[in-house]
Structure 1
Amino acid sequence: IFVLEISFLVWWLAYLGAWTVFRHGYVWRGVVMAAVALLVNTYYAPNPVTGFLVTFCIVALLLLAWANLITNRQRWRTFRITFSQDIGFDFMRTGLLYTITIITFAFVAPSLGRNAWFHRVLAPINQRWEETTQEFNRLYEGLNRQERLVATGFGRTLSLGGARNVTDRAVFQVQTAKGRYWRAVTFDEFNGRQWTNNAEIEVEFEADGTIPVIEWSQRKPLTQTVTLLASTGGVVLAAPDVQQSSLPILGSFMPVLGAEGETEASAEVSNELTYILARTVLEVGDSYTVVSNLTDITERALREATVDYPLAISTPYLQLPDDFSPRIVNLAGEVAGSADDSVYDRVKRVERFLRGYAYDEAIEAPGEDQDPLEYFLFEIQRGYCDYYASAMATMLRSLGIPARTVSGYAEGLYDEETGIFVITERDAHTWVEVYFPAYGWIEFEPTAGESVLERPSGADLPEPSSIPGAPDEFDDFNDPLIDQDFGGIQDLPPEFLDGGIFDTTFRPSTQWIVVTVLLTLAALVGGWWLMRRRVWQGPDGFVLEPPVLVYERLIGWAQRLRLATQTGLTPYERSAILTQELPVGAPFIQRITDIYVQFRFAPRAIQGGESDGELESNWRQLRPVLLRAWLERRLRRGDEPRKPH
């Protein structure tokens, strides 16, 4: 039923689109209906279908160009404006180039503000603008003006408010092998409207000193060189978890249990770095190097992780306000599924659920009497990263899963030539980290505006005994394999020989073969139809005046017969030449010319419908004469002996 309904919807959209375009000339109506359907499918499609969208945009813009040409041709004929009959080819060629340019720019433009090369090109202009702004501010210090809000500073609190006010101004760049998040601060306590970092342990470290971090499993060191392009308020930005810095820093720590996930009674409590400030003033253009212990974990490891949360983790990271919304608790239970499933699977369900909410940076702030999370989840159902992350962290906490929000920056734009990530104000971001015993804090991305975090599955390779036909075990593992009798290929199981791993024959998909054949046939039929219209009917359009249409057909045949092709000839002069060459069709040629001249030049032009029947009758009798003359000329040309070179 679903396939039938979709097929009917597609047919109906195509029918209405064709009707509005070819019957009434309303091109935009036909295009918009199909565009809405395609955009909805593009947004919700499980697999990328951007190619269909690009193809549709090209065809739609070409259709608009063609419709504009037809409208202008009708207007030119109405006002007796002469134009070339071959204008269609030139017009559509230019339209195609314009279309490709527009679509290319549409895909490239959003990322220009985050492109490192683009920033280098604009650097002199930006510098001059900053100097001009500073000079203006110096001359008019007394003016009361609104301060510019920026997203380059992070403190110990994060409030859920209204619209974000960020720009594409570059903040810093990072030279490193890989990156996903540049952490600034983690939050543990939530009071219903605001997150807070309650780290009370502060320790100073000298430059290049080693920072004691917990040795979580499945981590790899990552070196990063950060160069500031704007002020960051002294916050040291880096991938988690920082274990060394070239700057002297002040670190804020929270207590956390050891990496092996021991019980609270037997474990030794360690501290975790949650916020870093530089102990020196960081100026624009300064660089520093940090080494982080970056997670490199698999999905399998996360699914098999235990749930033995130490008290140092469960106490701060399961905290919720006393009046926390029961609606959100119920929603979390419905979305996460059975408590018997792994923590990782339940977390991923909540993440996928929240990514279904619309991303919107221009939302209004919730009222004083409104719960911000209920406002996001149940009322407006749209928002930005602060709301996504807050909703996910609190929903997981209500399920007994330790989680926290983290603020910093998303990865930014990577320049492959220089190996540098360029991060702008717009990349300021908040995400979620979930605690897994022995593996530490693992990042998750609930925000719809960001790409999904992809991790390796970690699935084990099949054991030797799982190979069909192989023995369960060898008598002596040290025996040379060459002494084993495996037989020949003919002794292999059928599943290996019939489409198995030894089947290297390329078999293209049947669907692709059918699609290719249908597209080829459609191209051939379309080409034949266009040629037929050009040969038999002349120029096309929505509605053409019959005198002009029939006369243009006549002139088109004259050009194919190489008659009356001189420029500057009047209609009657062309008619005389054609009549002399085609005496059989003389009366029809003369009458068609008379009607055309009267329509174009007479004080009282022929009105539509007055001579349609006569024109059609004359053309119907003249067309076989023209075709016969054309064939005779073609045959005569083929019989002519070739001149020797």
Structure 2
Amino acid sequence: MTTLTSTQAPVAPMAAPISARARYTENVYFQDGRLLTGILTALLYLILATSLDAAGYVSSMALLVPVTLGALLLGFLMSYSRFDGFFALSHSMFTGLAWILYLMSGLVSRDEIAPFLSNGIPEIQAKAYFVLLRWLNWIDAALNNVASNDNYIFIFEMCFLVWWLTYLGVWSIFRYGYTWRAVIPAGVVLLINTYYAPKPILGFLVVFCLVAMILFVRTNLAEQQLRWREQRVHFSQDVTFDFLRNGLAYSVIVVALAWLIPGLGRSLEVRTVMEPLNEQWEETTERMNRLYQGLNRQTRPTSATFGRTLSLGGARNVGDTPIFQASTPRGRYWRAVVYDTYTGRQWLNTGEVEAEYDAGQPVPVGDWQLREPVTQTITLLSPVGNLIFAAPDIARVDVPIAASVRPLPVTTAAGEESFEVVMARSRRPLEVNEQYQVVSMQTAITERALIEASTEYPDAIREQYLQLPENFSERVAADAAAITAGAATPFQKARAIESALRNTIPYNDNIEAPPPDRDPVEYFLYDIREGYCDYYATAMVVMLRSLGIPSRVVSGYAEGVYDPETGLFTVTERDAHTWVEVYFPGYGWIEFEPTAGETQLNRPSGDEEVQTDLLSEQMPQNSEASPSQDPMMDEMQDPYANAALAQQAALEEQARARRVWWLWAIVTPILLLLGGWLIWRTRISGPTAFDPELPPLLFERLQRWAQRLRLMGPASQTPYEQAQRMGQALPEGRTPIESITESYVRYRFGRHDLSAGAGVNGEGVPVGMPPAGMVATGETGDPLILSWQSLEPVLWRAWVNRLLRLGRRRRQAASTPPDAGWGNEVD
């Protein structure tokens, strides 16, 4: 083996003093392209800030831009400084808090801080105290699960989020070179903002993706330039322009493909797997809606539109997107969810009883008077999640459902316990253009019947549906009593309040959210005197409850537009609606419409001669089914039809489950094998072509094998001494071991071109050449790669033989008797 000869090194001249600029730039990870990297980083976070401002949640989000600029400036300064991470992060936290409070003080009026000013506190300090006090009040509301619509807190938290994202992003990129860690959190926030923003901001996401990918190209090139300089690899300075040009073209192609290729969300299997996560996300969204009631929100035709809470917030944004079509003899309301509890800020659905019904399985509905079955065929035109929309009361659905139900104070027709569905979801994904069929027991009540209805309310109904907040407005209660002063029955009182709201308060979708310290109903009735359906329904229900009349709020869709030629009701996003239901003993829950601009509910007067057994005449019990009878009700009364439908639904569920199981059974092993092969190829197998880092890469793998085979010498040994030790233990691999070691030494410590006359090793074989046997076989390729490929089988055999030897030693040790140990050895 040859050894490197050394000559006496000349005395190095005294180093020149380090300039001030170099003293600071040495603390930055990237030494190339710092200006362009800084510009791209600043653009990235300014796009995020402006997208949050353009989303339109509140009207005072423009200060996110100066917040971002402050975070960028501090992040750049700290990255170039000599401060460590702890000082930089702690300093950023206090500086950011002070900067945000200063900017937010411009949003606070003098009237709001009058109590502070009266105590002699300076104005700027008083404004900061005001914002902090509002923040503490919001935390108290969150801990006590109380609704809050304080927009100051939303702005404060968004500013703090953007500050930390920007500062940590700049620090990560410039101090440590972690571009991915900086971009991904900002991208996730922008993606969520794009999805939930009241206004369309998709363009911000597209530009963000382009800038992010160009930043990845620039920082990756800067990191490669660091390595090339360290390893003395020559490269042209023009490579920067080529990289950026190709990176921009690649970024445009990627964004275009992401725009054009349909998402995986349309896959039935993927949606089935994601269903538990979607449900958890809906619960989280509902909780966030409670904590940020005052924000303007985007109304979406999805299950998130109708959850277990209904907040009285600001303007609602709805479009004309078709949601579904309904084929039915008549339609008025398509119920989604029933709300029973009012907190003073929002409505809650507190139903805790969950029940599952198979496809076609009857729901044990109450035996109310004057009800008749109505069949509806719903054709979905947009994604709606898994919510079931239907006229009340749902008696049967031809898809399997999971329903929130409430016990009713009446029995079924068979004398059994009955339940009411207050919210239903399909247990399988509902796709666009899919149909489902629902049978509902719809009321056919007359005004005379409602006037003559009993006022003996069951205790369960009174307890649940007369609830009001503790601080309920006495003014609203007094007005309810005044409006109904001339009404004698609950129905007449309900009609009086309904008419008063419809005729005196105009409809307006675009209203501001009520202030945090203002009762929403008083805000609607006395301050702005306009609003939309959520406010109309809430005002009517709380008025009725103050009079002792059980009532509740219901959300879903209004009837939509009826086409006489097709016989279809087309329901659009704009038909999203909230209405009122009032309880009448013996008849159940009856709808009322207090919203101005909506169609008036007109019922038969009942003065004409009406048979009280109308329902039984339409469904004769002792005769063959008449042609006018509902065919789906025939199936409900036929146990054999029910059994067949249930069996068919079970088979469909099993088939779907098998399809999903086989999909994962095929894909999972393929992915595992592919991942294992890639790991093995990366860690064990050699490269397939020469690159500037090949000699140190192969030598590092050689050292890993030496550790695995217990052939690693002390750290003081030179690479040649390590190679000699390994070659003695593995005579078959001595030549490639020496070849790889010699290439590494020349690459690491010399200034020689590896492709030009590298010399010979200890056996006279040219360095970098494979063993003669491999050349004789006619194999071609880089000599260093071929050397590694010839050495690899030798290493594997040595490793297997070592494992076998260890196994034999363990067996021998286990079979050795105790008295034949070290103490009994013969010299």
Shorter-chain TM-score category? 0.3 to 0.5
By relative contact order (CA 8 Å, sep 6+), the higher-ranking structure is 1
